A = this chain, B = another copy of it.
Amino acid sequence: MNEMTMPGRQIGRSLPRLEARDKVTGRTEYVHNLRLPGMLYGKIFRSTVAHGRIRNIDVTAARAHAGVAHVITGEDVRKVIPRPFYGPAFHDQPVLALDKVHYVGEPVAVVLASDPYVADEAVQLISAEYDELPAVFDEVEAMSSQAVVHDELKPAGTFPDLKHLQGRRNTNVALDFHLRRGDVDKAFATADRVFEHTFRTQQVLHLPLEPFVSVAEPTGSGITIHTASQSPSFVRIEIARLLGWPENRVRVKVPYLGGGFGAKLYIKLEAMVTALALLVQRPVKVALTMEEQFYTLTKHASTFRIKSAVNKDGRITARHCEVWWNGGAYADIGPRITQKSGFTAPGPYDIDNVSIDSYSLYTNLPPAGALRGFGIPQLVWAYESHADMIARELALDPVEFRRRNILREGRPQATGTLMRDAAIEAVLERLAERLDWNKSFDRGSGTVRRGRGLGIGFKASISPTTSIAIVNVAADGSATLYCSTVDMGQGSDTANAQVVAEVLDVAAESVRIVHPDTDVTPYDMATLGSRSMFHMGNAVRLAAQDAKAKLAALAAELGLPPGSNIPLPELFRRKYGMQAGNVIGIGSYVPTYESPNHDTGQTSNATPYWMIGGTAVEIEVDTETGHVRIIRIINVVDAGKPINPKIVEDQISGAAVMQLGFTMQEKMLFEGGQVTNASLADYKIPSILDIPPMISEAVDAQQHDGPFGAKGVGESGTFALSPAIANAIEDAVGVRVTELPITAEAVYRALRTAANDPLEDA
């Protein structure tokens, strides 16, 4: 091993992931593998009705089943958590259903046994009776439905901009976000042309290959929770709140995750295992099956009505956006999506007059949460389809139409925030260049036609959020990073190691990472929204710089001249008389932020940075079957200056493949609120054979306040794939699809329909 003696520039190195060898040799630690002495397994009995009052839960037979230790219901939970309702935005979700159930699949009771198969058998012996209540499933209907999911809104109090909803009754609107800029009415009244279209997206799933799993272990000092979570710090604080304990009695440990994609945020099984473990005073594990993921968290289905005023010269003068987000039965982080993504609904365009109305709706479906893009792919689907439809109507080249309208550096976005470090134009031009946009394109003839299309999207980062890191330099100069960023496959361990290594001038391979453990790794808001590279990256950079400054101070204390470059082991030996000691650096990072005005949505500082993602595709459509074959995909993003170019490329590709599934094939099917394709046999995600040739790249860019110029990239590949394909389909065969997924059947139907009005299509 020569790793300590290999200093050099660590940023921009496509270092293989630090954990790669462990992963391929099966040594990686996952919560699914954890077994503790005396541990019980919990299996969940779930609601069979979409909305109903619980009349009776009969657990007699289950309790009598040989090998069953306990059967727990919502009323039992109250013994250890008097008010057992959790959630990041609203305290609306019970640990186990209390009084009412709000969707099919909601957890109602748990059987505990030493043998998980025994627990599973006993679950089949439970029965429940409900007084059914009217249910609502569609997000637009939910606006005015007589079926009201929750009697009263209960904001968590965490976000000040939800406080006005406290106690609101008889509504399914969990948040209404409004933005007003300029004079939209006047602009529409004086416009040369007005275009209005409606677009819809479907419910889909995160489907990490590691399903949800949590283990809780009562200890003398409190409780330790081992969980596959993207947000260990949130889990600690929320469990402490539920129990009425100080934070330091709740320990949350997170090893590697087998994917997250936004599903494993906030509380999922953690409150349940905590309540169970405290009730029975034994370690309890609840590990969901792949099928149970369908009952836990979905991506928001959405309806987006977008209306634009456009002048003859192709300049957009006004845009009105109405977005309805189908939040399902519990709000989860939906209201934040409604707002935080809502304010980018007009797209990366320079429009003087903008109005946005964005609604988060409760419905009687499984809860919807953040899913790789945090609402942005739903919005881009609409505004980039809309863009091409306008361009086509105006007989403008779609790239040229975008060039005339895109937001350029220094111009105000819809919130009024001036754009900075947002390479929108560079992304657009790079896509056009990669696509040879200016060269002639053979659209084919006969039954198979070819088309090409593109789209660009952008996303703000969630703000303000905090990340803290500790860098500990041992007496031989080897460094360890303590941080609560969860490596769920995105390569954060490796990138953070590179940041430490760059500052300390050592090889990134030599940096050791301590995984999230709230007793030791400091606070991090969560691993979500592509925030980690920027926020935690900055905290890690600051921690390493703090350590470096302390090493320099130590050298000065020992009388060494500045820049004396004494080897670290020798420095420690001189200070401590032997190989002893540590130098510990701390980095805390929270970007500045200004809350948007409640009425107008205006703010001078809406986000610490912008993510830009664009996709271009070439496709073939079989006009006899509607089958669409993707010939190639080109993804171009602005990720600032990549810390690890290969990981950035993989992140872009991975996001695009995920979005490809959501675009072409994935859809949760419901009948009366009951999902009918809750298995990977029926719900098909992309296989390796579904992935077309793909180019994924980052434009040459720099985030001025990012760590070494970097910013997030985990979601950018999802933004614009869907409209790029729809635009290419229209380019190929002249029909417009306005609803996802774009199945062969949908294209076939569109081809066979004479009228091509997207509003009818919706």
Give A contacts to B, CB under 8 Å: 1, 3-4, 18-19, 21-22, 25, 27-28, 33, 37, 158-160, 219-222, 233, 237, 240, 244-249, 464-466, 468, 470, 472, 474-480, 482, 510-512, 514, 517, 519-523, 525, 575-582, 584, 586, 588, 590, 593
Contacts and interface: CB of A to CB of B under 8 A. Distances in A.
A249 B468 contact: no
Given A1-B244, A21-B220, A581-B588, A520 B482 contact: yes
Contacts of A220: 19, 21-22, 25, 27-28
B237 A475 contact: yes
B246 A510 contact: yes
Contacts of A160: 577
Contacts of A472: 520, 522
B158 A579 contact: yes
Contacts of A221: 18, 22, 512
A584 B519 contact: no
Contacts of A18: 221
Contacts of A517: 520
Contacts of A479: 248
A11 to B, nearest CB: 21
Q: Report how many copies the assembly holds.
A: 2
Given A28-B220, A246-B477, 17 more contacts: A27-B220, A33-B37, A158-B578, A158-B579, A237-B475, A237-B579, A246-B510, A248-B478, A248-B512, A249-B478, A464-B577, A466-B580, A472-B520, A475-B523, A480-B520, A520-B520, A584-B586
Contact of A476 (B219, B246, B588, B590): B246
A522 B219 contact: no
A395 B237 CA distance: 73
A468 B22 CA distance: 32
Contacts of A464: 576-577
A591 to B, nearest CB: 11
Nearest to A241: B579
14 contacts: A28-B220, A158-B579, A246-B510, A247-B476, A464-B576, A470-B470, A472-B520, A514-B519, A514-B520, A523-B580, A523-B581, A581-B588, A581-B590, A584-B586
A13 to B, nearest CB: 18
A30 to B, nearest CB: 13
Given A158-B579, A219-B27, A480-B519, A474 B510 contact: no
Contacts of A520: 472, 480, 482, 514, 517, 520-521
Given A480-B519, A577-B464, A512 B249 contact: yes
Contacts of A247: 474-476, 478
Nearest to A247: B474
A28 B476 CA distance: 33
A586 B586 contact: yes
A329 to B, nearest CB: 25
A590 B583 CA distance: 13
B1 A468 contact: no
Contacts of A27: 219-220
Contacts of A584: 468, 470, 522, 586
Contact of A4 (B4, B246, B577): B246
